[in-house]
Structure 1
Amino acid sequence: MERLDLLEIFRELKEQRKAVVSVCTANQFVLDSVMKFQKEKDALVIIESTSNQVNHRGGYSGLTPFDFRKMVLSLAEKNGVQTQKLIIGSDHAGPWPWLSLSANEAMEEAKKLVSACVKAGYKKIHIDTSYKLADDVICDKFIVARRQAELCYVAEQAYKDVSHEDPIPPVYVLGTDVPPPGGSVGAGSNDTVTVEELLEDLDMTRREFLKLGLQNAWNRVVAYVVNTGADFTSFDVVPYESDKFSQSKSFLLREPYVLEAHSTDYQRLESLVRMVHDGFAVLKVGPELTFRFREAVFALCDIEEETIESQDRSHLVETLLSEMRANPKHWKKYYRGDDVELKFSLYDRIRYYWSSEKVEAALKKLFTNLHSLRVPASLIHQHLPDVVEDISGALVIDPFELINLKIRLSLEKYHRACQNAQV
């Protein structure tokens, strides 16, 4: 098997002014679609789990890093994806899920998370310590840099424990100008850092790494996160403004890194292409893909309502809303709480509830009800017009394929942008 040369991969992305999509989700339907798409395009893809989604305690998905990697590799094998085309990583590895704990407690949890990710075989570690913890008086750039170094030290120690059976050490992504996981709360922000601030952060972090003897690890820092200014709220998308990054090229010329863009969800193709032109070689996406999944499932519920007797329906939407209201912790900071926002917000906090036992049972019933059902093509077109063109005759429903086609709409957009498509 061809060895994965991570440093060379990121070097080539920078030289060729291309990009790679980083899919940040633990949703199996989304990941299955990603694998199918990747196999068809023969493209490199990064799959990352976020720290609140997957961690050593199970996260909201119930998966540890070992479980997550096993699931991803299983889906890759099922779809014939070559492992040298796949990078598994950790998004926002740090204290984010434990902000209510003291700094010592939160950092201990973060260290356990980072160690678990590396020992599970994750190869791209985004270290994110840019959050004020419960007893922090301040969380300035020095504290952020020191904590990044501390977590990298733990990662390197963890790799030593498994290096005898794994010849590929992890690479790192740093940067303090980090949008919060899953979208910011409020109207979004177009604030971006200057090149001078980037270089100051970089120098400070480098010094903290060297204090801990992490020169070798520093040589494996491949990307820096910079806030693109692109963002989204429940019902609005803040577009990327390329002119704010006219200075970024000087940073890229001076340093060996690529830029990594977070919160690129829902951006138009032309905006994503401009990001790639401006040096963003990693485009992270998550909520947009689970939003597409949710759209497809809700469309299937509408089709079910037209074809299945009431007493035999899945009642999936009602079950989801009931679960969200019974356990509001995943959305209460983001939503007012009305049904429209719970169901259709771009934040897609609904993604936290698909693993509920009741929701899983309702989803299974929906698929059972519709699978192989022969219906007028116009009925499917009515609810999924962007994935089914036929309006005459009859079609046999394959729920999984319809979901896959819906998710592909976003994957195709990202693929074109990463290939530096001309728009």
Structure 2
Amino acid sequence: MTHPALLDLAQGRYRRGIPSICSAHPRVIAAALRLGRGGPVLIEATCNQVNQEGGYTGMTPTDFRRFVEGIAAVEGFDTADLILGGDHLGPNPWKHLSAEAAMARAEAMVAAYAAAGFTKIHLDCSMGCAGEPEALPDEVTATRAARLAKVAEAHGAAAYVIGTEVPIPGGALHHVDTLAVTDPKAAAQTVEDHRAAFAKAGLASAFDRVIGLVVQPGVEFGNSNVIPYAPDKARALSESLKALPGLVFEAHSTDYQSEEALRALVTDGFAILKVGPWLTFALREALYGLDLIAAELDGQPPRVQAAMEALMLSDPKHWAKYYPGSAQEQRLMRHYSYSDRIRYYWTQAPAAQAAEAVLQRLGERIIPETLVSQHLGAVWAEGLCAPTASGLLDAAVGRVVALYNRAAQGAVG
């Protein structure tokens, strides 16, 4: 069953916008649920992260649902307000296979997501499979999306998001200066191609539950810089929503934007704000800061960064092709890149043990304010918590979640 908050959002009956929390880290999810109590919270998993074969988290959609609901129980969050979404659901994890083989796997994935009660489904069949061009014509993309929607409908009605004009997952691979905003005519054509494909597949009523269109509003981040939202450049795209009743725009890679920029995105119709790497970037900043504080207090060297460096060097598959440059440049990016590919490692045993060890080193002791100011000044300046290790770690993630919540509701922080 489609969550009513999604339909209300698309019709302008609910609120101005909603953050989409794209993370499988338990502290991130806990912060989102804790700060979102009393209203709907949208948490999404990607096709590579969670699928019927386990994805890189090792979780199926049913596993992920149980995982999030377990955190909700601890946080006292009403699961009636929980919206689970599937992002970029399509053949991407299997695009090395033939189109038919990859689509068959994608159908199984969508079936698993829908059966597990995910009520927001982003259909993304834009990528070419073996023997096909890298990007496919809109008509082919739409036809394949409708094929997946038919599977989803057989396992439970959902709200759908279409469109694929998005930044590279995880951020650009290089320094970025400018971006081309989606052409309004291209956005309208994407909608019409999907409308026609759904109708041809006998899914006209399902198309009424298409609530969002993924477009490029001109926001992006690279390894070391961020392209801020420029409302004037997106004005024509924003105005084009008037001709697309019942739809909102979904903005990907909104990480590291200012609160003002996020509010402007929501005001301009980009009502679904995807955020992921920034949340775990804040987590990593806090863990490294706490490790340095522990070193100051007990006279022993910091340990977390060394443990993460050893882990990433022993298992480079999540970062090697994304971080170009010299050995020194790669080392810096492994730890400090905005794309935050270190996030793929936090749930692995060595990383989880290193993070837990620093929390145990500090325990529940009250950390001197001067050390907090030195190493976690941004969190401390906002007065978000008592100066304990666990409190500071949760506050570091929570301040990003809170910023998105304020921006989505149009409030000034």
Matches within 5 A, 1:209-358: 209-255=198-244, 256-308=246-298, 310=300, 315-336=303-324, 337=327, 338-358=330-350
RMSD between aligned alpha carbons? Answer: 2.4
Cross-structure match for 2:395: 405
Cross-structure match for 2:130: 134
Does the CA-based 8 Å contact 1:92-1:181 persist in structure 2? no
TM-score (norm 1): 0.89
> Runs ≥4 in structure 1, deviation > 4 angstroms?
none
Query: Aligned AA for 1:367?
Result: L
Cross-structure match for 1:166: none
Does the CA-based 8 Å contact 1:209-1:218 persist in structure 2? yes
Distance 2:412 2:19 in 1: 17
Does the CA-based 8 Å contact 2:366-2:388 persist in structure 1? no
Is 1:170 matched up with 2:167? Answer: no
Cα offsets for 1:55-96 (capped at 9, x unmatched): 112112221111111111121222122223221111111122
**Pair 1:249–1:397, CA change in 2 (3 A):** closer
Distance 2:221 2:182 in 1: 19
| SS, match of residue 373 in structure 1 | coil
Q: Using the aligned pairs only, state the percent identity.
A: 36
Question: 15-24 or 315-324, which moves further after superposition?
Answer: 15-24
Distance 2:35 2:368 in 1: 28
Does the CA-based 8 Å contact 2:367-2:388 persist in structure 1? no
Question: 371-380 or 46-55, which moves further after superposition?
Answer: 371-380
Question: 14-23 or 294-303, which moves further after superposition?
Answer: 14-23
Cα offsets for 1:214-240 (capped at 9, x unmatched): 112111111111111100001100111
Does the CA-based 8 Å contact 1:287-1:348 persist in structure 2? yes
Matches within 5 A, 1:5-404: 5-6=4-5, 8-12=7-11, 14=12, 18-39=16-37, 42-137=38-133, 139-159=136-156, 169-188=157-176, 190-255=179-244, 256-308=246-298, 310=300, 315-336=303-324, 337=327, 338-389=330-381, 398-404=388-394
Distance 1:396 1:92 in 2: 39
Question: 325-334 or 93-102, which moves further after superposition?
Answer: 93-102
Distance 1:124 1:350 in 2: 27
Cα offsets for 1:295-314 (capped at 9, x unmatched): 1111111112223354xx78
| SS, match of residue 44 in structure 2 | strand
Does the CA-based 8 Å contact 2:9-2:16 persist in structure 1? no
Query: Aligned AA for 2:154?
Result: Q
- Structure 2 unpaired stretches of 5+: none
The offset of 1:16, in angstroms, is 6.8
Cα offsets for 1:133-158 (capped at 9, x unmatched): 23214621121111111111111122
**Pair 1:208–1:29, CA change in 2 (3 A):** same
Distance 1:286 1:378 in 2: 30
TM-score (norm 2): 0.91
Distance 2:91 2:183 in 1: 26
Distance 1:111 1:187 in 2: 36
| SS, match of residue 247 in structure 1 | helix
Cα offsets for 1:322-360 (capped at 9, x unmatched): 111111111112113532111000000000011212212
Query: Aligned AA for 1:331?
Result: W
Does the CA-based 8 Å contact 2:182-2:237 persist in structure 1? no
The offset of 1:247, in angstroms, is 2.0
Query: Aligned AA for 2:312?
Result: M
Distance 2:361 2:6 in 1: 48
Number of matched residues? 405
